Amino acid sequence: MTSTILVVTALEDVTADMVISVLNEREVPVVRVDPADIGIALTFAARIETEAPAWGGRLVTGSREVELGEVAAVYYRRPTPYAARYGQLPAQQRDFATAEARNGLGGILHSLNGALYVNHPLAVARAEFKPAQLRRLAELGLTIPLTLVTNDAEQARMFAAEHGPIIYKPFRGLPQDEDGHAGAIWAQRVDGATFDDSLGVMPHLFQAEVPKTGDVRMTVVGTRIFASRIEAPDGALDWRRGDWNKLVHTPIEVPESIAAAALSYLASFELVFGCFDFALTGDGSAAEHWTAIECNPNGQWGWLPDAPAITEAIADILTQEGGGTR
């Protein structure tokens, strides 16, 4: 039986394109699908029974088709939200159709028998909560910034007075607006004297600012680690807010204890891939120079200098030449 790699992502995903290109070069069968295409552009029929306790059937896109039982691995990237498919419907119908698609088609794609996932979407969902990330990073012995999560303005003012300067950053990215335009709220310094009762509307994440000398993006694929020191020419607090073409990338050696903690972190969330961000407070030669900020379980890496090597590593995992999560 032919083994197929299923790539679940939106149409415009340059990062997934890189992996698919390598898989094509290796002559590995690949089917790309965006679940939000469900309808004429995406049909499926899946069947299960007592005598055959695994989902079988076929998924058909506008250009490809795949037998569910032939899917050996799933590269779950960044599919279009199901809600986008039903945005033209009245609210009740939209919410119902979205939930049915997520639980029906999504439930099948999450439950392919014996398939290896990079990463499983349910594992990604668990690992996206920043409070859970910070707790696990600290449990593994990594240094993290002193952090307060609150909607209490008085507690926030006290935190700022005692541990300032402090920064604010959102828990998740900024959603698209009504016109489909994406935005971002970067990590930024905030003044506790400006806090008022409007903070009570939603939770806020505040951290004591780390007096950093640089940043590190560490990408882990299976047991392979790729790390680059990142420096912004303008010394920006958050390097993501400027011109990425002007960032200075330098390979950096990862201390053994940091590497071991990162692998344990991924294992604890049943992940095989993750992008870790660290702030450096020295030259990075010692573990105590590394402050763990977060781990994105579905982070971007296509812009990094070692992207070609990361691409090959992910292709190795998907073709079961490395370890993954089933």
pLDDT at 201: 94
pLDDT of 220 higher than 50: yes
pLDDT at 238: 82
pLDDT at 63: 87
Specify whether 254 is located in the same domain as 279.
yes
pLDDT digit string, tens, across residues 286-326:
999 999 999 999 999 998 999 999 999 999 999 986 455 55
- Tokens of residue 9, six digits: 């992502």
Q: Is residue 22 part of a domain?
A: yes
Specify whether 220 is located in the same domain as 271.
yes
Query: What range defines the domain where residue 158 resides?
Result: 146-206
pLDDT at 179: 65
Q: Is residue 321 part of a domain?
A: no
pLDDT of 174 higher than 90: no
> What is the domain count for the chain?
3
Last residue of a domain, one of 94, 114, 134: 114
pLDDT digit string, tens, across residues 244-288:
778 889 999 999 999 999 999 999 999 999 999 999 998 888 999
Q: Is residue 324 part of a domain?
A: no
Specify whether 11 is located in the same domain as 110.
yes
The residue with tokens 């969902």 is 125
Q: Is residue 127 part of a domain?
A: no
The residue with tokens 């069968």 is 29
pLDDT at 284: 85
Separation of alpha carbons 80 and 38, rounded Å: 11
Return the ∠ at Cα 265 (arms to 81 and 279), rounded to 5°: 90
Q: Is residue 253 part of a domain?
A: yes
Specify whether 222 is located in the same domain as 197.
no
Specify whether 20 is located in the same domain as 42.
yes
Specify whether 198 is located in the same domain as 234.
no
Last residue of a domain, one of 74, 94, 114: 114
pLDDT at 285: 87
CA distances, 153 to each of 33, 150, 191, 199, 226 (Å)? 45, 8, 12, 6, 40
Q: Is residue 223 part of a domain?
A: yes
pTM confidence score: 0.91
Are the C-beta atoms of residues 35 and 81 closer than 8 Å to each other? no
Q: Is residue 92 part of a domain?
A: yes
Q: Is residue 100 part of a domain?
A: yes
CATH number of the domain residue 223 falls in:
3.30.470.20
Last residue of a domain, one of 206, 230, 252: 206
Specify whether 98 is located in the same domain as 20.
yes
Specify whether 263 is located in the same domain as 184.
no
Number of H helices, E strands in the chain: 7, 16
Residue 276, number of CB atoms within 10 A of its CB: 27
CATH number of the domain residue 196 falls in:
3.30.1490
Specify whether 253 is located in the same domain as 163.
no
CATH number of the domain residue 72 falls in:
3.40.50
